[in-house]
Structure 1
């Protein structure tokens, strides 16, 4: 069986300056091999955060795998869905992006297990 592919294009994001977050200077691309017939779904959700900042997160589901592309510290992190007691939790690098309904929070795991989020946001309707 020949695998399908999923091509993710990481393009520059705008509107992140108030958070000290920005997209990459140029676009990059990531290609993943998937089993043939795997259904891929993508949803983009916009969030409003403190100080009037706003950004968009891309959520991608391919078969049993779920990813979130979240702008953090000048780059777009590809985060994988991990176990959560409630909501959807994604981890990548030193960060965790956790959503529960319209609420979202970004955690820096280097600050400790019980540290407050470094940013909280609300889904834009």
Structure 2
């Protein structure tokens, strides 16, 4: 988990030269997995899922050139992760990325993404 936060801090440093490394020793990585998805529109996305020893879950993915850490939140079905205006929602081997700034009837930014086997 320490590597995760150092990676995020390094990404932030490009925007703020004086940024200090971010470490949270209380949050320790228990497991991680990278899954590559192919989406309906021909795009693909790679997501790194991180589970911590204190039972938190994160999803790391790049959206519009920004590396974001999505936090798992309660959902009625599947796994829902949020970061900034974005939601990455998975159910089984499928996922969708949507924006909270889009019109309520707008299609997801990435739709019908299926995990590669």
Instruction: Give yes or no for TM over 0.5.
Output: yes
Residue matched to 1:57: 47
Measured in 1, the distance between the counterparts of 2:75 and 2:41 equals 29
| 1:63-101 Cα distance to aligned partner (Å, 9 max, x none) | 221100011011111010001100000000000000001
1:66 to 39, 57, 70: 57
1:48 to 38, 59, 69: 38
Q: Unaligned regions of 5+ residues in structure 1, if any? A: 11-22
1:102 aligns with 2:93: yes
SS in 2 for 1:52: coil
1:32 aligns with 2:24: yes
Superposed, 1:80-99 pairs within 5 Å as 80-99=71-90
Residue matched to 1:6: 2
SS in 2 for 1:7: helix
Equivalences, count: 104
Shifted more, 50-59 versus 88-97: the winner is 50-59
Per-residue deviation, 1:123: 0.6
Measured in 2, the distance between the counterparts of 1:43 and 1:86 equals 21
More strand by share: 1
Residue matched to 1:14: none
TM-score by length of structure 1 reads 0.71
Residue matched to 1:13: none
Q: Unaligned regions of 5+ residues in structure 2, if any? A: 15-20
